[in-house]
Homo-oligomer: A and B are copies of this chain.
Amino acid sequence: MVSVYITGVGMTKIDKHWDMTVSELASEALRIALNDAEIENVDAVFVGNMLSGIVNSQENLASLVVSYAGLYGTPAFKVEAACASGAAAIASAFISVKSGMFKNVAVVGVEKMSDETSVEGITKALATATDSEYEFYHGVSFTALNALIMQRYSYEFNVKPEDYGLWSIQMHKNATMNPYAQLRFEITMEKYLSSQWISKPIRFMDCSPVGDGAAALILSSKKPENRPIEIAGIGMATDKFQSFLREDLLTLAAAKMAAKRAYDMANIRPEDIDMVEVHDAFTIMGVLSLEALGLAEKGKGIELLKNGDIKPDGTIPTNLSGGLKARGHPVGATGVYQVAELALQLRGTPVGVKLDNPNIGVALNLGGLASNCYVTVLKGG
């Protein structure tokens, strides 16, 4: 079977890009990745994006990005899976190379959230990741759903606010090293604990910020001679969509299933993993993600924070980029940033903290309330 390698990486800094359109942001990341891969065109482009229709009044985004990038004629697909749109686009691109129909393809994750300037507006836009009819129309925002889960986790496993605070502090610390990160400053436990409630028990400092960004990858069936980085496994799964349908709110069932599928394809076990990028849109999702990836038992994810395991020199370095919390979370782009960061780390040229010869990196991207999940396993050469 065909193997798939990452041969090019491109990123823009995550920020409020008032002077660029969503298509300009995307085509900039795409051009950087093409230059990095030293190729001029690809056989197809897969664009991951969630909100361009609602926030930028722009659908038909894939052919627009291709046209802006000057790649006339190239087939183009936009893939959407809420906050997992980026990883869904990577999975689609990966499958297309596996099919043998394409040899070199590009993935671009992009989101330009700042075109929506009101908090109410962006909250409503993000709430389209819930079941609009049976969740959001009744007043449950996305933050509120996460708050329900955090409340239950805290109760079941006796977790204190200062335990959660360790996540945010570490993410901000990691982000200071990453030139592409949105929030490049450290915070203290005092600042975490005094930050305002957004939806109790979620504090302001538990939330990822709103920002604009684009990241791109070139995937190829041709193995590079120098430091090949292989996408060794991809796992995809969906869950019962609505929170009220689930037997167990504290297990990300789709993420767990996706992880098993990805590990099986890559022929690895959780203990083989050298680093992870997980989906901490809110602190609680970071903790549950570690459990879903099999890095901690149920209810024990929080221990990885308390023991310092998630630090760059810990047992399972987590979100060296700063994570969604501090690198930023331009929603449809996030999954591509995660894999791009792991690829650069495996290449030996990370954007932040450098690990000592890592070999295996895993990214977990969650869509909606983890209703659509993607796990990507990278192996260094």
Interchain CB contact under 8 A, B75 and A77:
no
Query: Which of B56, B91, B92, B245 is within 8 Å of A132, CB to CB?
Result: B56
Interchain CB contact under 8 A, A82 and B100:
no
In the bound assembly, the distance between CA atoms of A81 and B53 in angstroms comes to 12
Given contacts A56-B132, A60-B128, 5 further A-B contacts (CB under 8 A): A57-B132, A64-B241, A67-B240, A67-B371, A99-B99
* A188 adjacent to chain B (CB < 8 Å): no
Q: Which residues of B contact A58 (CB under 8 A)?
A: 128, 131-133
Give residues of chain A (198-245) contacting chain B, Cβ–Cβ below 8 Å. Answer: 236-242, 245
Interchain CB contact under 8 A, A76 and B1:
no
Interchain CB contact under 8 A, B61 and A80:
yes
Interchain CB contact under 8 A, A236 and B75:
yes
In the bound assembly, the distance between CA atoms of A136 and B59 in angstroms comes to 12
Interchain CB contact under 8 A, B99 and A60:
no
Query: Which of B62, B74, B82 is within 8 Å of A59, CB to CB?
Result: B82
In the bound assembly, the distance between CA atoms of A23 and B53 in angstroms comes to 18
Given A1-B100, A101-B95, A239 and B63 touching (CB < 8 A)?
Answer: yes
Contact pattern, A 35-78, Cβ under 8 Å of B = 1, otherwise 0: 00000000010000011011011111111101110011111111
Given A53-B128, A77-B88, A257-B73, A63 and B133 touching (CB < 8 A)?
Answer: no
Given A241-B63, A245-B67, A53 and B56 touching (CB < 8 A)?
Answer: no
Given A54-B53, A75-B238, A368 and B63 touching (CB < 8 A)?
Answer: yes
In the bound assembly, the distance between CA atoms of A51 and B60 in angstroms comes to 10
Q: How many residues of A contact B (CB 8 A)?
A: 65
* A109 adjacent to chain B (CB < 8 Å): no
What are 30 contact pairs spanning A and B, CB under 8 A?
A1-B100, A21-B133, A23-B131, A50-B60, A53-B53, A53-B54, A54-B54, A57-B128, A58-B132, A60-B80, A60-B128, A60-B129, A60-B368, A62-B372, A63-B238, A63-B241, A63-B368, A63-B372, A66-B238, A68-B241, A72-B240, A73-B237, A73-B238, A75-B236, A76-B81, A76-B238, A77-B81, A77-B92, A96-B99, A98-B99
In the bound assembly, the distance between CA atoms of A1 and B99 in angstroms comes to 9
Copies of this protein chain in the complex: 2
Given A54-B53, A80-B59, A67 and B128 touching (CB < 8 A)?
Answer: no
* A285 adjacent to chain B (CB < 8 Å): no
Given A57-B132, A58-B132, A136-B57, A367 and B63 touching (CB < 8 A)?
Answer: yes
> Which chain B residue shows the least CB distance to A261?
B75
In the bound assembly, the distance between CA atoms of A173 and B159 in angstroms comes to 68
Nearest chain B CB to A238's CB is how many angstroms away?
4
In the bound assembly, the distance between CA atoms of A21 and B60 in angstroms comes to 23
Most chain B Cβ neighbours within 10 Å, of A75, A82, A237: A75
